[in-house]
Amino acid sequence: MDHNQDVDGPFPETIAVIGVKVRDSGEVKKTRTDDDSLRIGDFVILALDNDQTFGKVYSNPQFLPFTPPMRAMRTTLRKATEDDKRTINRHQQLVEEGRAFCLDRVMTLNLELKLVEVFSSFQRRTLTFTYTAEGRVDFRLLVKDLARRFGCRIEMRQISSREEAGQLSGVDTCGLVLCCASFLTDFKPLHPKGDRGNTQWGGDSHRIGVCGRLKCCLMFEEEGWTLTRRQPQPLIQLSRR
């Protein structure tokens, strides 16, 4: 099956879907597959953010009726080969070393940031560090230290508290897995329309999620709400020369 055939049609009657943890962390995500021989515990290669990464299968293939929203569902590229598995093992070791070294340098440099995830690119010599911070962080020295230590391009990527909650996952007061971890893919701040300066919502505890922000599910329940994009800190990259 052509991975792109579902964009414009014709649509298949059924598709095979598996549950995968991207980089074997976070919540199990539903992804499409053309390989119905995949089983729990297998590693797969995924396309993500114009790059490739790995995932681990946590639920066997299920055949489901196709509906148009499934066009946006991520598709596995292939079952991991033995070479892929060796690459995955190297990347996991690099990520662990990168996390430990970065945390040490953050403490030494006294930087006000919280490291969330470290991952390595499969197609580029790049090590990415995602973090949260209350304000702007001058991490130029940190990036230089990381580039010198690992000899590759370093990306520091600031994410929102919603994105952090989506990666860490959890269960909210409703008893269900967090929306951001289970199905939402695009995270935007939520505000009462035309009343962003109103602080009364901050004191309404049942509307506040585990991330400390207004719950994403409010966009499905309340009238007069709007979504506005967060302005992230510019991405800084540094390559060792």
Q: Of 106, 132, 158, at which residue does a domain stop? A: 158
Q: For the chain, how many residues are written?
A: 241
CATH code of the domain covering residue 104: 3.30.300
Helix 140-150 vs helix 82-109: crossing angle, to nearest 10 = 140
Quick one: pLDDT band at residue 238, thresholds 50, 70, 90?
low
- One domain for residues 190 and 134: no
| Domain that includes residue 135, residue range | 85-158
Q: Does the structure show a pLDDT above 50 at 227?
A: no
Question: Looking at 37-51, 61-75, 135-149, which range is the least confident one?
Answer: 61-75
- One domain for residues 165 and 218: yes
Residue whose tokens read 């992804």? 31
- One domain for residues 57 and 124: no
- Give a yes or no: residue 232 inside a domain: no
Q: What is the mean pLDDT of the segment spanning 201-228?
A: 56
Q: Of 118, 140, 158, at which residue does a domain stop? A: 158
- One domain for residues 209 and 181: yes
pLDDT in tens, 143-161: 999 999 999 999 999 887 6
- Give a yes or no: residue 29 inside a domain: yes
Say which DSSP state 171 is in.
B
Ranges assigned E (strand) in 68-224: 76-79, 114-120, 126-132, 153-158, 190-192
- Give a yes or no: residue 202 inside a domain: yes
Q: What is the mean pLDDT of the segment spanning 167-188?
A: 58
Measured from the Cβ of residue 232, the count of other Cβ atoms closer than 10 Å reads 10
| Confidence (pLDDT) at 210 | 54
| Confidence (pLDDT) at 231 | 46
- One domain for residues 72 and 93: no
- Give a yes or no: residue 236 inside a domain: no
| Confidence (pLDDT) at 213 | 61
| Range with top average pLDDT, 118-127, 179-188, 197-206 | 118-127
- Give a yes or no: residue 52 inside a domain: yes
- Give a yes or no: residue 178 inside a domain: yes
Q: Of 158, 178, 202, at which residue does a domain stop? A: 158
pLDDT in tens, 105-127: 999 999 999 999 999 998 888 99
Total domain count for the chain? 3
- Give a yes or no: residue 233 inside a domain: no
Position with higher pLDDT, 192 vs 69: 69
